[in-house]
Amino acid sequence: MYEICPVCFWEDDGQDDHDAGRIRGGPNRNLSLMQARCNFAEFGASDRRRLARVRPPRDDEHPLA
């Protein structure tokens, strides 16, 4: 089981910047971290199917630029 971000609903499976463009499958299915970040910038969640489960970021939570 992985930690789930309450802001974007990405499941932290250890993927990081060095392989952000790779689709690993696993808990995030057919999303790469890079695509999830683009999705968050566009509509506020890692995946449209998760929009009902996210919340706006607090002042101390900043998305990566």
Q: Can you give the residue ranges of every domain in the chain?
A: 3-53
Residue-wise pLDDT tens digits, 51-63: 999 999 998 887 6
Alpha-carbon distance of 42 to 24, in angstroms, equals 22
- The model carries a pTM of 0.86
Q: What angle do CA 14, 22, 6 make, to 5 degrees?
A: 45
What pLDDT is recorded for position 62? 74
pLDDT tens digit sequence for 11-26: 999 999 999 999 998 9
Of the pLDDT bands very low, low, confident and very high (cuts 50, 70, 90), residue 2 is confident
Residue 24 has what pLDDT?
92
